[in-house]
Structure 1
Amino acid sequence: MPRFCYTFELLPGTLDRYEQEHLEIWPEVVEAMKRVGITDYSLFRRDHAVIAFGECVESVFDTLRALDDDPDNQRWSGHIRTLMHNPLDADGQLKISHEIWRMP
């Protein structure tokens, strides 16, 4: 199953709000994730650094592109990204980490 991971930094003073937003994540965003084939998605935080990890049924690129095209996810992304430094590269894509090892 394809997996993905990316990291980003939260802006100063946003830690509590960021965590609260995810305690109250919009149900339509979770449904959009499931609809595009994301089967697992987790966020981990250490200080201002956030690590996002997920698994999906199809290719990571196609799955994340489909999620980017979802109107509910677009609204959520616009809302939640006000709390973080820009997580996107010059092409407007998430800065996906390269997996170097997985326990067999």
Structure 2
Amino acid sequence: MPRVASKMKLFKGFEEEYKKRHDELWPELHALLKENGISNYSIFLDHDTNYLFAQMDIEDPKALENLPDHPVMKRWWAYMKDIMETNEDNSPVSFPLKEVFFLA
């Protein structure tokens, strides 16, 4: 199963709020991610830089292309825009990361 990784930037001082919002992840967002073949989704925080590192397994990477148009995804991005760097459409500013090592 392919893995996808990226990094995003959290605003300083919002570390606890970011975790709280994800601890209370909306059931409809959870369902949307699962329906699109996403599993083993983890997000890590580098406290020194406030960069978030996200990694997920995805059945079909093309399924990610449909998520930005989904109303639940748009609502989640609008909900998160006040605590992290975002684009004009409220999506997180995200940089894809290239895998250079994997130990199974």
What interval of TM-score do these two structures reach, taking the shorter chain for normalisation?
0.7 to 0.9
Q: Which runs of 5+ in 1 are unaligned?
A: none
* TM-score of the pair, normalised by structure 1: 0.83
* TM-score of the pair, normalised by structure 2: 0.83
Q: Deviations over 1:16-74 (max 9, x none)?
A: 11111111111111100011111221111121221111001012xx1221222221111
Q: Distance in 2 between matches of 1:87 and 1:51?
A: 18
For residue 87 of structure 1, report the CA deviation from its aligned partner: 7.0
For residue 102 of structure 1, report the CA deviation from its aligned partner: 1.5
Structure 1 residues 8 and 94: CA distance shift in structure 2, 3 A: closer
Q: Which amino acid is the alignment partner of residue 70 of structure 2?
A: D
Report the equivalent of 1:53: 55
The number of residues matched between the two structures is: 99
Report the secondary structure of 2:81's partner residue: helix
Asked whether the 8 Å contact 1:6–1:94 carries over to 2, the reply is yes
Comparing 25-34 with 63-72, greater Cα deviation is found at 63-72
Q: Which runs of 5+ in 2 are unaligned?
A: none
Report the equivalent of 1:70: 70
Report the secondary structure of 1:41's partner residue: strand
Structure 1 residues 21 and 93: CA distance shift in structure 2, 3 A: closer
Percentage of matched positions with identical amino acids? 26
Asked whether the 8 Å contact 2:9–2:93 carries over to 1, the reply is no
Report 1:1-104 matches (<5 A).
1-47=1-47, 48-59=50-61, 62-86=62-86, 94-103=94-103
For residue 96 of structure 1, report the CA deviation from its aligned partner: 1.1
